[in-house]
Amino acid sequence: MLHFECDYTRGAHPGIIERLNETNLVSTPGYGEDEYCEAAREKIRAAIGKEDAAVYFLVGGTQTNAVVISHLLRPIEGVISADTGHINGHEGGAIEASGHKVIALPGENGKLSARAVRSYLEGYYADEAWPHIARPGMVYISFPTEYGTVYSKSELEELSAVCRDYKLPLFIDGARMGYGLAAEGGDVELSDIARLADVFYIGGTKVGALFGEAVVFPDPSLGRDFFTIAKQHGAVLAKGRLLGIQFDTLFTDGLYFKIAKNAVDRASELKAALREKGYRFYIDSPTNQVFVIMRNERLASLAEKAAVSRWEPFDTGHTVVRLCTDWATTKEEVRELIGLL
Amino acid sequence: MLHFECDYTRGAHPGIIERLNETNLVSTPGYGEDEYCEAAREKIRAAIGKEDAAVYFLVGGTQTNAVVISHLLRPIEGVISADTGHINGHEGGAIEASGHKVIALPGENGKLSARAVRSYLEGYYADEAWPHIARPGMVYISFPTEYGTVYSKSELEELSAVCRDYKLPLFIDGARMGYGLAAEGGDVELSDIARLADVFYIGGTKVGALFGEAVVFPDPSLGRDFFTIAKQHGAVLAKGRLLGIQFDTLFTDGLYFKIAKNAVDRASELKAALREKGYRFYIDSPTNQVFVIMRNERLASLAEKAAVSRWEPFDTGHTVVRLCTDWATTKEEVRELIGLL
Amino acid sequence: MLHFECDYTRGAHPGIIERLNETNLVSTPGYGEDEYCEAAREKIRAAIGKEDAAVYFLVGGTQTNAVVISHLLRPIEGVISADTGHINGHEGGAIEASGHKVIALPGENGKLSARAVRSYLEGYYADEAWPHIARPGMVYISFPTEYGTVYSKSELEELSAVCRDYKLPLFIDGARMGYGLAAEGGDVELSDIARLADVFYIGGTKVGALFGEAVVFPDPSLGRDFFTIAKQHGAVLAKGRLLGIQFDTLFTDGLYFKIAKNAVDRASELKAALREKGYRFYIDSPTNQVFVIMRNERLASLAEKAAVSRWEPFDTGHTVVRLCTDWATTKEEVRELIGLL
Amino acid sequence: MLHFECDYTRGAHPGIIERLNETNLVSTPGYGEDEYCEAAREKIRAAIGKEDAAVYFLVGGTQTNAVVISHLLRPIEGVISADTGHINGHEGGAIEASGHKVIALPGENGKLSARAVRSYLEGYYADEAWPHIARPGMVYISFPTEYGTVYSKSELEELSAVCRDYKLPLFIDGARMGYGLAAEGGDVELSDIARLADVFYIGGTKVGALFGEAVVFPDPSLGRDFFTIAKQHGAVLAKGRLLGIQFDTLFTDGLYFKIAKNAVDRASELKAALREKGYRFYIDSPTNQVFVIMRNERLASLAEKAAVSRWEPFDTGHTVVRLCTDWATTKEEVRELIGLL
């Protein structure tokens, strides 16, 4: 059985398993105060070019979104997101459960434009009734987006500029950060993210780790008391070392970037083959998620040999299908899948 | 100065002030356990034709929406509303503050259609990822809507049917209930509301009272513990008698319905005159709110003599203006306003 | 039937009813932006001696506590209170419902001592695990307390000093503020409250109004966005003028203080008579609440002619009974009650 | 350096690391729907003797407490706990953050007695004001407690009986369940827990796993929608298999019970030696946590060679110190520690 349904079907990069094994019986303090976490923080600070950034390690993406957002918003504030944003649709209402409205604006190919944000903010303050309305308090985007698309550097700069005009923190969900940085034709580097976002995270779960997301506050003062809000959300791992060991491994010798590139390269091979076979794409994605339109019969026959993700109906005879590669996908797996299509 | 900007610019029907004066020094128990509240409950039960309905009195509309919704939803559930619903836009994020997502569906002239609700629910359960997504747990509509429009009896029956198919309570926000029941050409009676909704409220604040909303659970078992959730929201009035006295007055000799009809009759006169003068309407409303398109110069000159509500820009030279009549608007006030237009 | 069970059994001071009647058909803007509210704010600022204080009007006490506390706390913070504090026991879990822990410390006769607060804070920060524990974020006291006792000026100064040392706002619940200021032997004036508290409220519901609490931020910057958090809690009254009219009346010619003194004077007469008859007191209260120990048979026979409040069992044969006077209690009512005891 | 400061200083039982390594590149579905989770569920059902129990795997203890409690409580309800309960003091206010009061009753040696619970419930419903007060909605205990003590079978039966009388679910926090079941002189088995609790969890984090807590609903209907509330709390692990693999390993051939017994045996050796040396104990604990009173000078000199946990000051010259053994503590480590004392 081939697995292209998502990018979290396997364990971790073998180097991580090896480190977990080596360090298994070492005793350390809990809650992220160990030497492995400290080493990982240092490597991340170096990778983003911010020596004094505050770095915290949490377990998963939905959790991280809820903790970061409730950390930064006041009770009357909501978070602006593209309507397709993960926080708006796929997190069980976690943001609202912590008391905040997700202010969903129409996205374009999964992206939120600076223009849409500015227009919303202008309209908000132009309405005489604004004090009666949940206040926009931060802006959330994902990089890459839920549709595998990426912002260009100039798009991020424009978004960041709107946010700064209105003094709203810009939060970048980087659950698949590695794949976004490795995007075909992309021009964004991790240091750009750190320069333009007020807080972001570097996803491990989908990029080579067993689990783990590294939250970064380039200005550490914004991270004050983050430990306690994470604790309140049940998001502090007792054996925090497990996160340190994983991120230390991923940020040693650029492993994170290398394995992210593998996923994008495999996705490119897959798209080229699909294009050649005449498949239409639902959206043009330059990262590890491929959204292709498939006849329902084809999809049914495929199901026995390859797991894929049914995204949504396209028309009565076709379905939008998502195919994901990941840090471990091999050329051979891609070839086998192409053979079935 | 004329006041047509909203329907809560004055105090209360004089009959209410008189009763407050008469009963002022009588001592009663607090929190709604007094004889005035009990009398009011009985009259409301008679008016809706449900002898054993549970009736509670709260102070205001935003409060009532938040209390009712948090009373009925489980933590994982959200409430379906038209995107123009009051809970979605004008309550400071109150629903989200109690932990629940407002699931906003596109409305039509302020109304939520049974078709839109059914389609959303079918889509929700068709998505394999539904357990990851905030669950629709109730349906909220306003009668009349925020745009002054009303549902027909058959539209309400269809909505109620969808809700019962999916076992979702239907909640009708009746902040302006009186004006909706008196709508030109409307076919809905209070007993229909009580038959089709699982919970609704009869608005006093905008229909002749100083303040107050009467929440009705036609099936009283659905109201169990409502007092405590209201207390938790700070929504229980110590001198609950004030609500009893007001609703008792409003539901004696059909006063509520009579004064509501006044507002609709005055709005009809106003619309007829506007139509004659060639004004265009933004929306066709059969109740006490009139949405008319006005030249910006006209609006500016009007401002000195009549207060109206700027709803939203229509185009560069025009604005959508809301004009409200209420239970106390006189024919003369309407004539004066027409004279200015 | 005599009513001594609480201090909210009647309507309002007749002067208030009269003003409501006079102004009833005047049209004003909603939500507290009317001239009556503005006049009331000015009179309150004058009464407390803070020209630029921010003043907001809400409807009831539980509501006010919840709005103020959620306005000032960050998500990780809790509020320190005496264990007998109203927020800890009698508000349906309203503080917790907005996400915050009530950190209950043992009170002494209903009061929270500066020593107890300082000791808790020292212990909190001395515990290495403090970042795992809900952070104390403000201090709540009631003046007078739930047991009718009052803080002396020096006690308030000490509490205020601890709060300022730890940068915690001091919040004074003044649901019965008038009765506390009029306490026998008390040395606290409203200007002391305004000097020592960071936020407090002046209760109307229990001191002559139909309803209403005036929230004061002596430093107006602390009140920023208070309107919106009040709206989110459903605590903004559409016809806000009703609150303005009431507080304007109460703060004209010192009416608030005069009627508060009436309650305390009547309570003094009652206590003197009880003492003479040999009754023991549960607590020594200098305000309008009298806590007396009564034989159960006496209590049973009293029930037919006078309503009183059973506070808690004292021993198998006796009950702690609360007797309240209020702004309207007459000498004759007190005499009648004494006759029954 | 010796490590006795807590029971989560090391990684996992080597058998777990081995299984993680073996299965690392196998692809599985996410979110706990994989074969490893299913196998682990089956083994846990067998171990507790409930064939149809619902079993869910979460990551950590604070998280599990918050998810379970918010799953079972209605908004007006609070959870009864001993004042020393983990949810009351050490979880950053997580329970309150989800809207619920922790109703803290005085514990005895960390335990909550059936008598204390019944007395509280009787008092609650005897108070006429009960509808104004947060409703007790469930009972939380920890087994073993935060002080290492355990309930006897009859104590649990009494607690369960009170809960059933009042229809309150009994929730047992088993973060250290293994050590409680292995307690010296204890008479409680896992099947007793499953018979007497309505929901409980079997802690992995502190008993041989890298992380993980297995939540069990003996009656599966009580677990309905638990997945979604877990998702809402950010508590669903994408690679849920990691939890399945760990619990499958722990529940194969009784490994969980064997390694738990190791900790208790080592603690017994430690206590015997301390007793012999004349140390006083702060509390008599039969599990893996030893609370001993130590001179401050001794504690200071110990710090260089052994990490221990300062619990609280005992008197000016002494400190209460907690020493923990765990699943991996060796006889030699205990001997070395004894040599230092």
Which residues of chain A are within 8 Å of residue C99 when distances are taken between CB atoms? 98-99
Picking from C217, C71, C92, the residue whose alpha carbon sits closest to that of residue C138 is: C71
- The alpha-helical segments, DSSP class H, found in chain C are 14-22, 35-48, 61-72, 86-89, 94-97, 114-126, 153-165, 177-181, 190-196, 226-232, 241-250, 255-276, 296-302, 331-340
What is the rounded distance in angstroms from the CA atom of residue C192 to the CA atom of residue C174? 13
Written as six digits, the tokens of A313 are 């109906």
User: C242-278 in b/e burial notation, b at 16+ Cβ within 10 A?
Assistant: bbbbbbbbbbeeebbbebbbbbbbbbbbbbebbeeee
> Cis bond leading into C136, ω under 30°?
no
CB contact under 8 A, C135 and A232: no
What is the rounded distance in angstroms from the CA atom of residue B102 to the CA atom of residue A6? 29
What is the rounded distance in angstroms from the CA atom of residue D101 to the CA atom of residue D137? 10
What is the rounded distance in angstroms from the CA atom of residue A40 to the CA atom of residue A247? 6
Written as six digits, the tokens of B294 are 């006005």
What pLDDT, on the 0 to 100 scale, is given for residue C142? 98
CA A172 to chain centroid: 8
What pLDDT, on the 0 to 100 scale, is given for residue A47? 98
How far away is chain A from the Cα of B97, in angstroms, using its nearest Cα? 4
Which residues of chain D are within 8 Å of residue B99 when distances are taken between CB atoms? 98-99
Please identify which residue in the block is written with the tokens 């000097």: C195
Written as six digits, the tokens of B139 are 């349906």
Q: Which of D96, D120, D124, D138 to mutate to test the interface with C (most CBs of C within 10 A)?
A: D96
Residue of C nearest to A76 (CA): C229
Residue A312 to residues A62, A326, B136: CA-CA distances in angstroms? 22, 22, 20
Picking from C206, C243, C201, the residue whose alpha carbon sits closest to that of residue C218 is: C201
Cβ-based neighbour number of residue A312 at 10 Å:
13
What pLDDT, on the 0 to 100 scale, is given for residue C249? 98
Residues of chain D with pLDDT under 70: none
How far away is chain A from the Cα of C133, in angstroms, using its nearest Cα? 7
The answer to whether residue B101 neighbours chain A at the CB level (below 8 Å) is: yes
What pLDDT, on the 0 to 100 scale, is given for residue D174? 98
Interface size A-D, in CB pairs within 8 Å, comes to: 156
What pLDDT, on the 0 to 100 scale, is given for residue B291? 97
Asked whether the beta carbons of B62 and C234 are under 8 A apart, the reply is yes
What pLDDT, on the 0 to 100 scale, is given for residue A6? 96
What is the rounded distance in angstroms from the CA atom of residue C85 to the CA atom of residue C141? 7
Instruction: Please name the residues between 118 and 147 in chain C that touch chain D, using a CB distance below 8 Å.
Output: 128-129, 132-134
Cβ-based neighbour number of residue C148 at 10 Å:
25
What pLDDT, on the 0 to 100 scale, is given for residue D188? 98
CB contact under 8 A, A96 and B78: yes
The answer to whether residue A225 neighbours chain C at the CB level (below 8 Å) is: yes
Residue of B nearest to C329 (CA): B25
What pLDDT, on the 0 to 100 scale, is given for residue A121? 98
What is the rounded distance in angstroms from the CA atom of residue A44 to the CA atom of residue C321? 66
Please identify which residue in the block is written with the tokens 């005499």: C335
Interface size C-D, in CB pairs within 8 Å, comes to: 56
Which residues of chain B are within 8 Å of residue C61 when distances are taken between CB atoms? 238
Size of chain C, expressed as the number of residues it contains: 341
What is the rounded distance in angstroms from the CA atom of residue C221 to the CA atom of residue C229? 15
Residue of B nearest to C91 (CA): B232
How high is the ipTM of this complex? 0.97
Residues of chain C with pLDDT under 70: none
The answer to whether residue B28 neighbours chain C at the CB level (below 8 Å) is: yes
What pLDDT, on the 0 to 100 scale, is given for residue B188? 98
- DSSP secondary structure letters along C117-178: HHHHHHHHHHSTTGGGSPEEEEEEEESS-TTS----HHHHHHHHHHHHHTT--EEEE-TTHH
SS3 content of chain D, % helix, strand, coil (to 5): 45, 20, 40
Closest partner CB to A99 (pick from B78, B91, B97): B97
Closest partner CB to B135 (pick from D74, D76, D228): D228
The answer to whether residue A106 neighbours chain B at the CB level (below 8 Å) is: no
How far away is chain B from the Cα of D226, in angstroms, using its nearest Cα? 9
CB contact under 8 A, B229 and D132: no
How far away is chain A from the Cα of B98, in angstroms, using its nearest Cα? 6
CB contact under 8 A, C131 and A75: no
Task: State residue B96 phi and psi, 5-degree precision.
Answer: -65, -35
What pLDDT, on the 0 to 100 scale, is given for residue A104? 98
What does DSSP assign to residue D104? E
What pLDDT, on the 0 to 100 scale, is given for residue D186? 97
Asked whether the beta carbons of A21 and D17 are under 8 A apart, the reply is yes
Closest partner CB to A229 (pick from C70, C75, C231): C75
Residues of chain A with pLDDT under 70: none
Q: What's the predicted TM-score (pTM) here? A: 0.97
Q: Which of A31, A225, A233 to mutate to test the interface with C (most CBs of C within 10 A)?
A: A225
| Count of helix runs (H) and strand runs (E) in chain B | 14, 13
Residues C15-32 have pLDDT tens digits of: 999 999 999 999 999 999
Laid out side by side, the sheet with C199-203 consists of C54-58, C213-217, C199-203, C170-173, C135-142, C77-82, C102-105
What does DSSP assign to residue A293? E
CB contact under 8 A, A239 and D205: yes
What does DSSP assign to residue B340? H
Chains that touch C (3 or more CB pairs under 8 A): A, B, D
Closest partner CB to A225 (pick from C76, C225, C232): C76
- The alpha-helical segments, DSSP class H, found in chain B are 14-22, 35-48, 61-72, 86-89, 94-97, 114-126, 153-165, 177-181, 190-196, 226-232, 241-250, 255-276, 296-302, 331-340
Written as six digits, the tokens of B183 are 């709508």
What is the rounded distance in angstroms from the CA atom of residue D294 to the CA atom of residue D4? 15
What is the rounded distance in angstroms from the CA atom of residue B305 to the CA atom of residue B298? 12
Residues A172-220 have pLDDT tens digits of: 999 999 999 999 999 999 999 999 999 999 999 999 999 999 999 999 9
CB contact under 8 A, D75 and B70: yes
CB contact under 8 A, D93 and C102: no
What is the rounded distance in angstroms from the CA atom of residue C63 to the CA atom of residue B235? 7
What is the rounded distance in angstroms from the CA atom of residue D251 to the CA atom of residue A75? 44
What pLDDT, on the 0 to 100 scale, is given for residue A225? 97
Q: At what angle do helices A241-250 and A35-48 cross, to 10 degrees?
A: 40
Laid out side by side, the sheet with A318-324 consists of A280-281, A289-295, A318-324, A309-315
Asked whether the beta carbons of A73 and A80 are under 8 A apart, the reply is no
Which residues of chain B are within 8 Å of residue A233 when distances are taken between CB atoms? none
